[in-house]
């Protein structure tokens, strides 16, 4: 066990937090019907690193976990309701809503979240779900794009994610996406900031340990967008990346930047096999 | 009206006469406590929902006085007795004078 | 950040004021209780307060109060800048005199529930909630 010493110290500091050593063994079933895979074998490309990958859900307290187990307990769902209204609202110069082309979101968006970010052949680039939402708004609706990590974007992404809950993340890293994936991998292992921390420093080498009073997860993004208790709103993947890199005391990349798109692609593939959970609830 | 305020209510569609039913409510609201400061150091004024009520066919189920220690996006769970077919009326009162309402029908077989 | 002599003096005064502060906060809590109970004696039992021993985040702490037969339950967070949290008034169609909500706690402190019982007497329950300070501002 690589984290014994630090865990022992953390356990002394936060003695009543008994489950500090690694992920817990609870099962996540949402609304008593959607069974989530939150623990599974690491995907092939990670097998030299991890045997098992864990959803961030396993690293949270029982009270926080419970908030995600029922859609009426999960505060994110009120924003999903708002996004459903946006879905049906005509915007822009073309007189269209999302529903004009995609009709029932529950039908048309089933499985979509699970495969994004994804190579877009026509555009010749890897696109995140947010980029695709904005491409639709600009090119097809003639509407203004959402700000990349705005509340509206997080809500729309959550509405789309809900349609894939329980399905395994299955993001492609090969073929035309391979180059972007390699860029993302390089960023993941690059130490940033005055603290000289890479993503791997916390989420690969020290997951399960306490960083002060916080329980470090594997940094999986299958639960995004995520409602955080800290700021009581939906948070996008890029918003979280930005916060993490800022905490290393570095200049961060911007949400929607090519660097964060590449990083999202890479991090998403580290969670291949976990269930889509978004919108989840985290600390 | 504070922007983007939206209620969400869960009530069963039917019950037997006199049954106790569980009700859950959530409303999107910042619940600005009046304790925070903006980036210029000025106190952000308090702006919260200060009262929530649930009535059934005009009779009170619960009436809650809310203070700034209630979390953002206020959530309540409680139980109501359903004597007959009728309507639950939910009302949230904002500091700024806005009133947000929702209602749910329930049928007693 | 550099401190001048004046700043340092100010900090010292601030620290002195802080040591007095708990009494002031306590006083605000006492006042709220006085207003609710009219100074009646608070007995133990008859009201239940359920709160986590440790809150992962002080922004959103789930609590539940229950007092069979009560007409009202007041909840206070004595360590907050203002101690009031909520008062639950139960109407004739409340199937139980119980409710759950989520509250803000500024730090580790006692959360108190005071119920006005059916016979007009008052009961009190309290629970210490430890609020952890996060590692990652993220």
Computed over every residue of chain C, the mean pLDDT equals 86
Distance from CA of A213 to the nearest CA of C (A): 5
User: How much is the mean pLDDT over chain A?
Assistant: 92
Catalytic residues of A: 244
Q: What is the pLDDT of residue C27?
A: 82
What parts of chain C have a pLDDT lower than 50? 1, 16-23, 138
Which residue, A271, A283, A281, is CA-closest to A37?
A271
Q: Which residue of C has its CA nearest to B49?
A: C86
Instruction: Give dist(CA B74, CA B68) in Å, integer.
Output: 11
Q: Which CATH number fits domain C24-129: 3.40.50.620, 1.10.10.10, 2.60.40.2470, 3.30.450.60?
A: 2.60.40.2470
Residue A182 predicted with pLDDT over 80? yes
- Confidence (pLDDT) at A213: 81
- Mean predicted confidence (pLDDT) in B39-50: 93
- Which chains have 3 or more CB–CB distances shorter than 8 Å to chain B? A, C
Residue C129, CA distances (Å) to A68, A173, B67, C45 in order? 22, 46, 19, 19
Distance CA A252, CA A200 (A): 17
Residue B59 · residue C46 · CB < 8 Å = no
Q: Note whether C87 contacts B65, CB cutoff 8 Å.
A: yes
Nearest C-alpha of chain B: how many angstroms from C65? 10
Cβ of B65 and C89 within 8 Å?
yes
Q: How far is C120 from chain A (nearest CA, A)?
A: 34
Percent of chain A residues past pLDDT 90, beyond the cut: 89
Torsion of CA A56, A61, A65, A66, to 10 degrees: 180
| Chain A residues 229-248 with a CB less than 8 Å from chain B | 232-233
């Amino acid at each position: 066990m690589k984290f014994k010493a630090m865990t022992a110290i953390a356990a002394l500091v936060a003695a009543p937090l008994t489950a500090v050593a690694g992920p817990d063994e609870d099962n996540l079933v949402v609304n008593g019907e959607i069974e989530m895979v939150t623990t599974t074998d690491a995907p092939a490309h990670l097998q030299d690193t991890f045997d098992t990958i864990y959803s961030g859900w396993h690293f949270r307290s029982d009270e926080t976990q419970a908030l995600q187990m029922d859609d009426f307990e999960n505060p994110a769902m009120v924003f999903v309701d708002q996004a459903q209204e946006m879905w049906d609202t005509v915007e822009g110069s073309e007189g269209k809503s999302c529903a004009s082309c995609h009709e029932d979101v529950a039908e048309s968006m089933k499985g979509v979240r699970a495969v994004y970010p994804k190579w877009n052949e026509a555009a010749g680039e890897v696109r995140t779900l947010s980029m695709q939402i904005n491409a639709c708004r600009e090119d097809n609706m003639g509407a203004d794009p959402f700000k990349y990590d705005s509340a509206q974007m997080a809500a729309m992404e959550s509405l789309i994610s809900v349609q894939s809950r329980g399905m395994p993340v299955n993001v492609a890293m090969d073929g035309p996406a391979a180059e972007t994936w390699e860029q993302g991998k390089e960023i993941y292992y690059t130490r940033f900031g005055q603290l000289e921390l890479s993503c791997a420093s916390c989420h690969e080498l020290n997951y399960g340990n306490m960083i002060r009073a916080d329980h470090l997860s594997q940094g999986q993004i299958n639960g995004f967008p995520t409602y955080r208790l800290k700021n009581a709103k939906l948070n996008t993947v890029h918003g979280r990346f930005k916060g993490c890199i800022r905490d290393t005391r570095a200049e961060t990349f911007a949400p929607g930047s090519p660097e964060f798109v590449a990083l999202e692609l890479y991090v998403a593939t580290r969670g291949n096999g976990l269930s889509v959970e978004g919108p989840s609830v985290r600390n | 009206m504070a922007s983007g305020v939206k209620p969400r209510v869960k009530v069963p569609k039917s019950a037997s006469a006199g049954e106790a039913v569980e009700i859950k409510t959530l409303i999107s609201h910042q619940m600005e406590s009046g304790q925070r400061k903006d980036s210029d150091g000025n106190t952000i004024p308090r702006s919260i929902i200060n009262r929530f009520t649930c009535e059934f066919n005009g009779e009170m189920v619960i009436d809650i006085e809310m203070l700034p220690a209630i979390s953002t996006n206020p959530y309540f769970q409680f139980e109501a007795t359903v004597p007959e077919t009728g309507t639950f009326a939910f009302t949230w009162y904002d500091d700024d004078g806005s009133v947000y309402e929702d209602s749910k029908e329930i049928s007693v077989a | 950040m550099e401190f001048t002599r004046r700043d340092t003096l100010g900090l010292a005064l601030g620290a002195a004021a802080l040591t007095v502060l708990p009494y002031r906060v306590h006083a605000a809590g006492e006042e709220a209780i006085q207003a609710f109970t009219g100074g009646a004696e608070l007995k133990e039992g008859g009201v239940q307060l359920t709160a986590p021993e440790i809150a992962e985040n002080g922004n959103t702490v789930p609590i539940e109060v229950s007092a069979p037969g009560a007409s009202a339950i007041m909840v206070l967070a004595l360590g907050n800048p203002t101690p009031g949290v909520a008062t639950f008034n139960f109407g004739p169609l409340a199937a139980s005199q119980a409710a759950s909500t989520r509250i803000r706690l500024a730090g580790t402190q006692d959360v108190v529930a005071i119920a006005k019982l059916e016979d007009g007497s008052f009961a009190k329950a309290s629970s210490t909630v430890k609020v952890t300070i996060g590692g990652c501002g993220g």
